[in-house]
Structure 1
Amino acid sequence: MTRAIVHMDLDTFFVSCARLQNPQLNGIPLIVGGGERGVVASCSYEARYFGVRSAMPIRMALQLCPQAKIIKGDMELFSNKSHEVTQIIEENAPLVEKASIDEFYLDISGMDKFYGCYKWTNELSNSITKETGLPISFALSVNKTVSKIATGEGKPKGNLEIPQNMVQPFLNPLSIRKIPMVGEVTFNLLSRLGIRNIEKLSETPAEVLQSLIGKNGLELWKKANGIDNSPVEPYRERKSLSTEHTYLQDTIDIEQVKSLILGMVEKLAYQARCEEWLVSTLSVKIRYANFDTENQQRRIPYTSCDHILAKTALELFHKLYNRRMRIRLVGITFTGLVRGTYQINMFEDTEEMMALYQTMDKIKNRFGFDAVTRCGGRTLKSKAGNIISNPRAQFIDPKNIE
């Protein structure tokens, strides 16, 4: 049976949500992002006409398009609209993978026998737009790679179908940049060898690509030839990342407990970024010395940023800890995960914050998690054996730290 894989992508999602709230923003160059020192989280097609792109510094975007209107993003609104779309798709599609806040893969293989895959998908996209007011593009093909590339080519409001016999003719003339796994470094490397379109890449022996790129060379060759057997993985809201710490001796040192919570959150957030997860629910658990266990959780806008998650975790801890008793265990859990790579809050943070996160993650990737951490998340011990629970509040002589 021929596979039928649909990729659905909400068009300029953040911009579309903002325009739903304020119709006066329709038809004008619009940028969703932070202040003058921030970056572009999303931009309208009117702004893209002038060369504005996502992740571009706001200052540069305004140089390209001085007449653009800049608004701050409302992540609560974006999260709610994303959940609305998710519910509609899950109610209708047999197998759904939520790839990010605004992207979905659907496996509807076999449906053509009863209804017609393209007709069904087109009606679903119309229903989404009608019920949520959000424009959406989709492409139907034989695997995830081809359908994703086709969605990008069909935007905005595109609805393409690429059958098996048209996969290679469709891919061949496109730039190798269109392949999802090709970044700037890979593109520059292949360009120097004269490999700039997918047809040339598909004709290059897989062994040559492996010698040039490494283990990803074979995978890249497969994608260039329209081969992708990766399954559509069902989206499960209950996927989680969690960690717990049980004290050898029950403690009432609240500053030390908060320091531990910061360290636990930082480690889980780093894991989430490495695995490309965004978190929408955070919960904190404490167990008292008498084994009474209490939990608090809060739904938050999708994020994988330490400073946002840490602030929420501490607020939940303060709500939880309402007895003057010793603590036996502390736990942190991230749930409501979706695939995504937004590493910081683009609507509030600056270019410097982006650079800081990227640099810290690079150092951790190379030298290990403990190579660089936030000072507030470290529990330091002096050579005398004393715990320095709040290193930010005092000067610490490095000679006294183990």
Structure 2
Amino acid sequence: MTTFVAHLDADCYYVSAERVRHPDLTDKPVGVLGNNGACVIAKSYEMKAHGVKTGTPIWDAAKLCPHGVYVKRDFYWYEVLSRKMLGIVGTFSPRVEYYSVDEFFFEAIPTSHRTDLPGTATKIRDYIREAAGLPVTIGVARTRTLAKLFSDTGKPFGAVAVLTRDHERELLAKMPVTEISGIGGKRADRLAPYGIRTCLDLADADGRLVNKLLTKTGYEIWLELNGTPVMPIRPERPPHQVLARGGSLMGNVDDPKLLWAWCVRHVERLIEELRYHNVRTTTLAIQLDWKDGTGTGGTTSMPVPTDRFDDLLDAARTSLRRAYIPGATATHMHVMATELRRAKGFQLSLFDAPDPKKEKLAATKHAINEKFGRFKVRSAATLYLPAVYRDPANDFDICDIRGKVCF
């Protein structure tokens, strides 16, 4: 029996999320602005019709669409609704992959008759609209690559199930090869001399040629286009190789106390990421960028994988000393955890003794911040950064929106 894959993609997700809590924005041209309100990171179809694109500076967008409504992004809210969607999809399918904040892959299971996948896609789409207030489009096909391609043909608020090879070929013939995720302009240029311009051209090409031109990744895409699933649904993603937190120091910093305060802030943010992804690290690195254009770094290894604040703080102190240049002025800092391991219980080193007091303290800190807001309890070392914590915009990171690259 053929197993089908479904791809769910929320329509204009950031805008749709704003409309859930502000229904008066419905049918209006809406633009969501990035961290500093400088550019549009998402736009409604109504605003898109005025020529506003993702990345358009706000001053240009206001000229193109003077009657538009521009709102500041709220990544926390988008994450909340995304998790709500994930929960809904999980009631319809036993295997769901959280691909990004507004995209999921899942095993398509008919809700009634075993062949009624079109009806199933429509039912899930409509239920998400009713329960979460979000418009989504769902595509169902034999592989991930096909499902993602075909869901794009149904936007907005569509439900597409492509179950036969003839139907697949009909749609693939209409799509340029650049519609495939992973095939950009450079790869398309490699294919063009061989007459491969559409998705159907690629599907019909010789697999050995595709492997030669696009290597293993391209060959896997070719297999998927021909209905052979090689990219599984991953309910739990493989561990990251590196997790990092950092960025601009919001000015020039030459005071070692301020530099340490920034370091502690980034360590606390990094621990959030480690725990979110259920991993621990044995190596902590710090990279500093200096005003004169140079950069320095320091790395510290730990005896066992950890996500504990006290362990990482000790490692950060050593790494910062190794990267620090006395009297120099720093502009950027990044704190990086490498050699990540999936967190499964606690492994103690030969000379470690369990410290239940530290564990309880860390758990209490986490519980308070979960309930009352991020950084409500934080290290006293960060008291040297009152302006950072006073500005609510700094409660969220650019990458707090999981799986998306934002401005």
Distance 1:63 1:196 in 2: 37
Distance 1:68 1:219 in 2: 43
1:146 CA displacement? 1.1
1:193 CA displacement? 5.7
1:302-381 matches, cutoff 5 A: 316-318=378-380, 341-344=403-406, 346=407
Match of 1:208 in 2: 209
* Equivalent pair of 1:35/1:58 in contact (CA under 8 Å): no
* 2:336 aligned counterpart, secondary structure: helix
Residue 243, structure 1, aligned to residue 281, structure 2: yes
Residue 182, structure 1, aligned to residue 183, structure 2: yes
Q: Cα 1:51–1:203, aligned 2, differ >3 Å: closer, same or farther?
A: farther
* Equivalent pair of 1:97/1:106 in contact (CA under 8 Å): yes
CA RMSD of aligned residues (A): 4.2
* Equivalent pair of 1:129/1:136 in contact (CA under 8 Å): yes
| Offset from partner CA, 1:138-163 (integer Å, 9 cap, x none) | 11221211111111110100111101
* 1:180 aligned counterpart, secondary structure: coil
Match of 1:234 in 2: 235
Distance 2:36 2:141 in 1: 42
* 1:137 aligned counterpart, secondary structure: strand
Q: Cα 1:235–1:126, aligned 2, differ >3 Å: closer, same or farther?
A: farther
* Equivalent pair of 1:145/1:226 in contact (CA under 8 Å): no
1:81-92 matches, cutoff 5 A: 81-92=81-92
Residue 135, structure 1, aligned to residue 126, structure 2: no
Match of 1:41 in 2: 41
**Where does the alignment leave 5 or more consecutive residues of structure 2 unmatched?**
238-274, 283-300, 305-309, 324-332, 341-351, 383-398
Percent identical pairs in the alignment equals: 23
Q: Cα 1:69–1:300, aligned 2, differ >3 Å: closer, same or farther?
A: farther
Identify the range of structure 1 (226-235 vs 109-118) with the bigger mean alpha-carbon deviation. 109-118
Distance 2:368 2:51 in 1: 36
Identify the range of structure 1 (32-41 vs 180-189) with the bigger mean alpha-carbon deviation. 32-41
Q: Cα 1:189–1:61, aligned 2, differ >3 Å: closer, same or farther?
A: farther
* Equivalent pair of 1:31/1:43 in contact (CA under 8 Å): yes
Match of 1:125 in 2: 125
Distance 1:253 1:230 in 2: 38
* Equivalent pair of 2:97/2:104 in contact (CA under 8 Å): yes
Match of 2:328 in 1: none
| Offset from partner CA, 1:283-326 (integer Å, 9 cap, x none) | xxxxxx9742322437999xxxxxxxxxx799644499xxxxxx
1:82-161 matches, cutoff 5 A: 82-109=82-109, 114=114, 116-161=116-161
* Equivalent pair of 1:100/1:338 in contact (CA under 8 Å): no
| Offset from partner CA, 1:114-153 (integer Å, 9 cap, x none) | 5733323322222211111111111122121111111111
**Where does the alignment leave 5 or more consecutive residues of structure 1 unmatched?**
273-288, 302-311, 321-336, 347-402
* 2:335 aligned counterpart, secondary structure: helix
1:112 CA displacement? 6.4
Paired letter, 1:243: T
Distance 1:206 1:87 in 2: 39
TM-score, scaled to structure 2: 0.61
Match of 1:267 in 2: 336
Paired letter, 1:201: L
Match of 2:171 in 1: 170
| Offset from partner CA, 1:360-398 (integer Å, 9 cap, x none) | xxxxxxxxxxxxxxxxxxxxxxxxxxxxxxxxxxxxxxx
1:67 CA displacement? 4.0
1:171 CA displacement? 1.0
Task: Tell me which of the two structures has the higher relative contact order, counting C-alpha pairs closer than 8 angstroms and 6 or more residues apart.
Answer: 1
1:233 CA displacement? 2.1
* Equivalent pair of 1:122/1:159 in contact (CA under 8 Å): yes
* 1:233 aligned counterpart, secondary structure: coil
1:376-391 matches, cutoff 5 A: none
Distance 1:300 1:66 in 2: 40
Paired letter, 1:202: A
* 1:214 aligned counterpart, secondary structure: helix
How many residues end up aligned between the 2 structures?
Answer: 300
1:58 CA displacement? 4.2
Distance 1:167 1:87 in 2: 30
TM-score, scaled to structure 1: 0.62
